[in-house]
Amino acid sequence: MKLGKYLLIPWFTLALYTVLSVCFGTAGIVPYRILLNERQKILENLDRLQTINRELEGTMEALLYDSEMIRIKARELGYGEREERFARIVGLPSGRPTELRPGTIRTAVQPLPSGKSYRTISFCFGLLLFALFLAGDLLLKKDSPQHHKENITTSTCP
């Protein structure tokens, strides 16, 4: 059974690589959750953009058919009719509406590295396990009492 444990090393390496790939790989569980969060953010942004679009369509319809609305918007932009005079009162907020915000620009997160790093990590852990098994066997071989008896009996033979 001493050599049987060395057969566990490739299986351990393969199992570690599989677990790392399933959890953290390019199509793994963690990147999938990150993509779901990004998708949710994009859907929320899409809802905000649709709301802004409905507001702008309402304003556009009002400007197409309502002459009073055109006058109001023109005055907000600083235009007026002939012989109109404007009085500016200092200290009050401006009559101009705030700038329209077209929505949040969303960018995707950077993808995680490919599985090559997981191969390297798995291989290194496999080598470490091999070294531990080998060191354990060498230390047990040197410290075993049978080894000492064999050395004593062979040295006393004529």
Ordered per-residue pLDDT tens for the chain, 158 residues: 577 888 889 999 999 999 988 888 888 898 899 889 988 988 988 898 899 899 989 888 988 988 888 888 888 777 877 877 777 777 766 655 555 566 666 666 676 566 678 888 899 999 999 999 999 888 888 776 665 555 555 555 44
- Go through the chain and tell me how many residues it has: 158
Number of H helices, E strands in the chain: 5, 0
30-49 as b/e: b if 16+ CB within 10 A: ebeeeeeeeeeeeeeeeeee
Distance CA 154, CA 145 (A): 14
pLDDT at 150: 53
HSE value, Cβ hemisphere, 13 Å, CA-based, for 100: 9
Which two tokens mark 127?
């080598």
Cβ neighbors of 45 (< 8 A, separation 6 or more) are 103, 104, 106
Computed from CA positions of residues 25, 26, 28, 33, in that sequence, does the dihedral angle turn out positive or negative? positive
